[in-house]
Every structure is written in structure tokens, then in C-alpha cells.
Amino acid sequence: MAEGTAKKPDETQDLTDGFHLLIEALKLNGLTTIYGVPGIPITDFGRMAQASGIRVLSFRHEQNAGYAAAIAGFLTKKPGLCLTVSAPGFLNGLTALAHATTNCFPMILMSGSSEREIVDLQQGDYEEMDQLAIAKPLCKAAFRVLHAQDIGIGLARAIRAAVSGRPGGVYLDLPAKLFGQVMNADAGKKSLVKVIDPAPAQIPAPAAVKRALEVLKGGKRPLIILGKGAAYAQADEAIRAFVEKTGIPFLPMSMAKGLLPDTHPQCAGAARSTVLKDSDVVMMIGARLNWLLSHGKGKTWGEAPKKFIQVDIEPKEMDSNVEIAAPVVGDIGSCVAALLEAMGSSWPAAPAEWVGAVKTKREENVTKMAPRLMNNNVPMDYHGALGVLRTIVKERPDAILVNEGANALDLTRGVIDMYKPRKRIDVGTWGVMGIGMGYAVGAAVETGKPVLAIEGDSAFGFSGMEIETICRYGLPVCVVIFNNDGIYRGTDVNRGGGSDPATTVFVKGARYDKMIEAFGGIGVNATSPDELKRAVNAAMDSGKPTLINAVIDPAAGSESGRIGNLNPQSALKKK
């Protein structure tokens, strides 16, 4: 029991308090998992939530709990919940909240906060901070609940804001005093709100659907791009049926891989640069024309004029970077269903010449890569290591692949085929490092499936302490660290000639596998593709928390992986 709220039984039997109202409000809305870090003022709340049957997973750092909540939102279409303490805990969780918003994942960051009267007069309270004001510009919506009787409505607003329309992060400020407030139990119960139809369907206008199909039909070299919005929608069958009915080549964005298998005959993943450059009509489904698609213009997109069709829930997304010839606004499920319906039974076959050209390019690229994936070099290069991991994923299409790093990210994305929707989760819109262990925990907890996390050694470092969390909860997570002694490469030298190492290199020959042994997990040092294969297979079969230090040639990577072009160059000639 929280201090100060204990009363004699006869006085309390008709009363409830903020702690219990929040727990009941969450359960009423089917929100039964919380990711967080305990401390004042939410320690007791976590205990009571756990006692009430809510699963409460404690992390070692709020940012990782936040990433777990964010990916829970992506995987389930329900807001993932993160719970933090005031000021520093709140700030630690805020990066993940902003990340969720940027990536359009529904998430609610619930943070305890200090006494309003003191915070607002800036009188120096314990962990003083005006959290609501700070959260507001970084998320989709931010709310504060001051009275116990408003907990129900406050949570309802947070849920709706997180999942309706374009999903995103929501901040819910819970001042310490709120938890201990008491009110009549009946009135409290009545104050709770069950959110009915939290993400109502948004049906596209028939005229917009017709226009889109006409533009698509007019293409001589049409292309469909699937984004993670399409993966989020869980409209897998309809999307597959639509893409197959068009016969048009499709390109999956990173987290849309597997929506249709990467081995599907229409998949243009291995011919990306060709299809972007040569296509004349491009339909984006839940994909945005941001930096990941070079803003829809420039060299990547070639000289030929393009017409864009965009299917998105957010009207403001249209014309964000280039003109959209056919905007279709609605939720992806409703839009794709409407498109399918309006195609009728006499939809023409996709232009054979174009389909053939894409197929040829794709086969050419796949053939070129094949021998590199079979190399058994020691020390390993990325391709040798990925060759074996690719087979392991093929044999286990239900496993979830978490992926971050630079080379470790870009090469994994390119090499490892995905076979089912929402099985690949990665750095997303920001290319952020640090999602690794949070995502691994969130994915394992939400799906019950085994997780394979392929991590650059730098990327892993951002959330590495959570391997204790993975061991503590006994989660079926296998972490493979592509250890090339640093960021991009382990070979850089200090250009000043001093004794400090270069800015991008780490301790040489580090043994990350030893870390997990401290917590009872299995550590393996793998120096060849064969060793790697054996260790990962064993981990995936046993489901035991495992960390494999995969020793990669420090010279194997390239600067910034595939996005080295984004590094600013001086107008002055390099000395």
C-alpha cells in the first residue's frame, strides 16, 4: 500500500484511489502489458498493476522500455505502454516517444511527475520539471490528469489519440498526488471509459479510388511501393490480393519486407535502383516520400517524368515532397479493399516488357550476390556471416528479426529475405541506434515468437545492459553482434597522432559474449560462418537467451553503410 493512503477498513470499503482507477482503466481497455523503470512516484503503481494481473516488465533504462512499448504498438495496433518516473526517467523515455511518433507507432508514455504547485513556481521539487510542456512538441498529443475522477477520460483520450488516424506517441502526465487521491468506489467505477472502436475505419472517396486506378492502369512501367504503414494495417490478405491482381512489381520498404515474401515473383527488392529510376507510375501504400525514398526526386528517380499515387491515412502527407497525381486518403485496409473492389474482373495484365525487364535485373543481382554469401572466410565478412543467417531465417519464417547498425543494418536488409508480415523490425524513419534490445524484449513478449537480433557492435552498445532484462524474463532472444571493432570499420586511426584511439573504433577483439554469461545466459564467440550457424541454430532451437559475438573483419565495412552520401562535404578541397 502507498504511504498516506491507508485507512481503517470501515472507512475504505466504499472508496477507491488513483492507483486502482488507473489499473482498472487500463484493463478495461485491454492494455495489459507495461514496460518501464520503477521509482518515485510509480513504484507502488507497478507493484499493484503486477498484482492485478497486468504484466509489468522492468528495464534497466527507460529508453529501452520506451522502444519496447513503441514496437508493441506497431505489432499489435494497440498503444504500447511505457511507465517512467519524473524528470530524468521521463526524459529517458521521451526519445522513444518521439521515435514512436515519427514512425507512426501508437504508444503512450505514462510518467509520474512532481507536485504541480512546486513545479509551476519553480521552487525546486524532487525531480522538478514541467513535463507536459516538454513532451507536447515531440508527440501527437499530451494530457495531464489532476483528479482521480478524470483518470478514465484521460486514458480514453490518450488511447484515441495514439491509435486513430495516423498513429503516434501520446504523453500522459500523472502527478504523484493523483495516485493517492481517494473517491467513492461506485463513482470511480462509473468514471472509467471503455473506448469503443478506437481507430474507426476511414473509407476513401470512391472518386479518389477510381482516379488512382486510372493512373495506375496508364503506366507503362508501373511500380508499387509498400511501406511500414501497410505492414501496420494488418490487411495482409487484401494487400497481397491487390498486388497480385495488378501483376505489377512491388518494392517493400525495410519494415514492409515479408508483407509479400521477398521471394515472390513480383518482388523488385533486388532491383531497387532500376525500378525507382525507370518506373513511370508509382503507387505508394503506407510509404512516405521522405529521405528513405530520396524525397521522390533527384538522381535516384531518374530523368523520366513520374506520376505518383499515394495511399495514406494522413491527408497532409499528400504533396509533401512532390505532386501526387492521385491521392487516396483513408486507412490502408479500407483503401486496399476499395481498390480491389473497383478493379473489377477485367483488370489488364501488367506490361510484359517492363515486368520482364525487372525480373531480368533482379535475377542478375541475385546471381551476382550468391557466391559472396557462400564464402567461408575467416575473419568473416558481412556476406559470409549473413549467408548462414539468411538460411536460418528462411527455415524459421515465424521468427522476428531485429536489426540495427550501419553495415550490419544495410547488408542484413539486403541479404536476408523475409517471408511473413511484421517479422522485420529495425531503426525505422530516423535510422536511430538503440532500438535493439528494447525491440527484442517487446517483440518476444508481444508475439511469443523467437527473436533474432542482428546488431552492429556500436548499435548494441546503446541498449546492451538490457541483456540482463532478457535473461531475467527468460526470453527467447538470440543476439548476434557483428563485431568489427567499431562504427562502420575498426581500422580508423587518430589523425592527430596522439594515443587516443580514433573516434570510430572500440576495444579491439572485445568479447561481448562474456557479458551475457554474467546473467546466466549463453555466450558464444563465433569466428567462422560454420561456428555462427551452429550457435544460432542452437539458440533458436533452445529458446535460451544467447549472445553470439560474431567476429567480423574490421576492414570489411564501408563508411555509414549504404548512406555515406549523406555525410556533409566541405566546399573546400580536402587537405
- The contact set with ligand TPP (CB under 6 A) reads 405-408, 431-434, 456-459, 482, 484, 487-488, 557, 561
- Of the pair 179, 482, the CB lying nearest ligand TPP is at 482
- Report how far apart, in Å, the C-alpha atoms of 495 and of each of 77, 492, 500, 506 are: 49, 9, 10, 16
- Of the pair 32, 491, the CB lying nearest Mg ion is at 491
**CB-based burial of residue 500 (10 Å sphere; 0-12 exposed, 13-18 middle, 19+ buried)?**
exposed
Half-sphere exposure of 252 (CA within 13 A, CB side): 30
Q: Is 461 in the site for Mg ion (CB under 5 A)?
A: no
- Of the pair 391, 504, the CB lying nearest ligand TPP is at 504
User: Residue 208 and residue 330: Cα distance in Å, rounded?
Assistant: 10
In whole angstroms, how close is the CB of 485 to ligand TPP at the nearest point? Answer: 8
User: Would you state the cell numbers that stand for residue 371, as one nine-digit string?
Assistant: 557466391
In whole angstroms, how close is the CB of 308 to ligand TPP at the nearest point? Answer: 28
- Of the pair 329, 432, the CB lying nearest ligand TPP is at 432
- Of the pair 193, 453, the CB lying nearest Mg ion is at 453
Q: Is 101 in the site for Mg ion (CB under 5 A)?
A: no
For the chain, what is the radius of gyration of the CA atoms? Answer: 25
- Of the pair 333, 405, the CB lying nearest ligand TPP is at 405
Q: Is 561 in the site for Mg ion (CB under 5 A)?
A: no
In whole angstroms, how close is the CB of 404 to ligand TPP at the nearest point? Answer: 7
In whole angstroms, how close is the CB of 457 to Mg ion at the nearest point? Answer: 4
Q: Do residues 308 and 282 lie in contact, with contact meaning Cβ atoms separated by under 8 Å?
A: yes
Q: Do residues 551 and 527 lie in contact, with contact meaning Cβ atoms separated by under 8 Å?
A: yes
User: Helices (DSSP H) in 218-287: which residue ranges?
Assistant: 228-232, 236-246, 272-278
| Grid cell 532500438 in the structure block, residue | 435
State phi, psi for 193 to the nearest 5 degrees. -125, 125
What DSSP state is assigned to residue 420? S
In whole angstroms, how close is the CB of 289 to ligand TPP at the nearest point? Answer: 21
- Of the pair 322, 563, the CB lying nearest ligand TPP is at 563
* CA end-to-end distance (rounded Å), the chain: 67
Partner touching 415 among ligand TPP, Mg ion, none, CB below 5 to 8 Å by kind: none
Partner touching 452 among Mg ion, ligand TPP, none, CB below 5 to 8 Å by kind: none
Q: Is 456 in the site for Mg ion (CB under 5 A)?
A: yes
Q: Which one of 220-228, 351-359, 371-379, 483-491 is the stretch in contact with Mg ion (CB under 5 A)?
A: 483-491
User: Would you state the cell numbers that stand for residue 38, as one nine-digit string?
Assistant: 520503477
User: Residue 75 and residue 232: Cα distance in Å, rounded?
Assistant: 7
- Of the pair 476, 557, the CB lying nearest ligand TPP is at 557
Other Cβ atoms less than 10 A from the Cβ of 361: the count is 19
- Angle 513-438-519 (CA atoms, 0-180°, nearest 5)? 35
| Grid cell 571493432 in the structure block, residue | 485
User: Residue 15 and residue 10: Cα distance in Å, rounded?
Assistant: 10
In whole angstroms, how close is the CB of 418 to Mg ion at the nearest point? Answer: 23
Partner touching 326 among ligand TPP, Mg ion, none, CB below 5 to 8 Å by kind: none
Q: Which residue is nearest to ligand TPP (CB)?
A: 456
Partner touching 431 among ligand TPP, Mg ion, none, CB below 5 to 8 Å by kind: ligand TPP
Q: Is 457 in the site for Mg ion (CB under 5 A)?
A: yes
Pick from 484, 528, 546, 549 the residue near Mg ion by CB under 5 A. Answer: 484
Partner touching 102 among Mg ion, ligand TPP, none, CB below 5 to 8 Å by kind: none
Chain residues binding Mg ion by CB under 5 A are 456-457, 484
